[in-house]
Amino acid sequence: MPNPTSSLNRDEVEKFSAMADSWWSLDGPFGQLHRMNPIRIQFILDNTGSLKGKKLLDIGCGGGIASVPFARAGAIVTAIDASPENIAVAKTYIKGTNITIDYRHTTAEEVKGKYDIITCLEVAEHVDNLSTFLKTITSLLAPGGTIFISTINRTLKSYLAAIIGAEYVLRWVPRGTHDWNKFIKPSELCEMMLNMQLKNLSGMILNPISNQWHLGKKVDVNYIAAFSANKIK
């Protein structure tokens, strides 16, 4: 397999190495994603049993925060992102390791094939035409497969937490990262997932005192859902 960063010059290698350090630092701009990640992985494992040997498509992979543990758990991972910088960062991070991930700078519309598991984590709230996007990703699911979507509910609490709190008060993410009008209620998400069965739904809850995440029943801010390809008639 060719070296995924072999075409980069020295300045580009240094640039993306620095970006990778930022992506993978708990104290960096993606620190909350790292803290959230274990419960996302836990939910996915709880609803699949095992990732070993399964073809997994990670949509909107960013710098690889989720795709790396997927690969370590034995999945055959294809990870895509519309940002060439994100893909370069992800490739830089696994360079020189024994982690194998097929990182691609592309969109879901351009992906071919079928996958046992599809993950779309903290992506849906940034998509312009979500209904069309969801139709695209469900078409890539193999029979008996599962799609996992984590996103943000559209409530007053989510506006206060994800926008006012995270962007303006705590400055965990840059201002303007989120558009509250693009947040999606679980009921709306289920309606858009045509011919799919909701398998499981859980809230992803941040304890503001410990700054740690856990799974729970409250879905009024962040939540994660599992959808099966076999809808009950």
- The per-residue pLDDT for range 102-117, each reduced to its tens digit, is 999 999 999 999 999 9
The single-letter code of the amino acid at 75 is A
Q: How confident is the model at residue 173 (pLDDT cuts 50, 70, 90)?
A: low
3-state percent helix, strand, coil for the chain, nearest multiple of 5: 35, 25, 40
Strands 76-81 and 101-105, how do they pair?
A: parallel
Average pLDDT over residues 175-188: 86
Query: Both tokens of residue 173?
Result: 């993410």
Domain ranges across the chain: 10-149+184-228
Cβ–Cβ under 8 Å, residues 40 and 150: yes
- The per-residue pLDDT for range 184-223, each reduced to its tens digit, is 999 999 999 988 999 999 999 999 889 899 999 999 999 9
CATH code of 10-149+184-228, in short, is 3.40.50.150
CA dist 173 and 170 (Å) reads 8
* pLDDT (0 to 100) of residue 72: 96
Chain length of the chain = 233
